[in-house]
Amino acid sequence: MVLFGVALAFAWPGAAQARVYWSVGIGVPVYYGSGWYPGGWNDGWWGVPYAPYGGWSTWNPPLVIERQPMVVQTLPPGPAPQSFWYYCQNPAGYYPYVANCPGGWTPVPATPPPPPLGPAK
């Protein structure tokens, strides 16, 4: 029987590549003495006296889900938010040089620094 299994393995070498496996076995009865055992036969015999079996099984290769790469689209930067300086009428000055302003702060649009002087590129 073992020789048959070895011959079968060499006869179909593609079977292993296709993930098909064969097995052959022979069951040998076990004698437990006289009496009755649950699920067994009388006189101590358990199961069938000769139980040849064979079988094959297959399974699918593992499932692999390939996801598309994530695409990140960025928007061009918009205009910078307008910033303000805060001016106080009495005492005259800008924050943080004047710490307290009893009359309230007046928001003044901040002026950007002048462009650097130099040769044009």
**Which residues, including other chains, have CB under 8 Å from residue 103's CB and lie 6 or more apart?**
88, 89, 90
pTM (global) more than 0.85: no
Its sign, for the CA torsion 28, 32, 33, 38, is: negative
Q: What is the tens place of the pLDDT at every residue in 72-118?
A: 999 898 887 778 899 999 899 999 899 999 999 999 988 777 777 77
Spans of all domains in the chain: 2-57, 82-111
Q: Pick the closest to residue 32 from 17, 47, 50, 53 (CA basis).
A: 47
Q: What is the tens place of the pLDDT at every residue in 8-66?
A: 556 555 444 455 555 665 655 555 455 444 555 455 555 555 545 555 667 788 888 99
Max intra-chain CA distance, the chain: 117
Pairing of strands 51-57, 93-94: unpaired
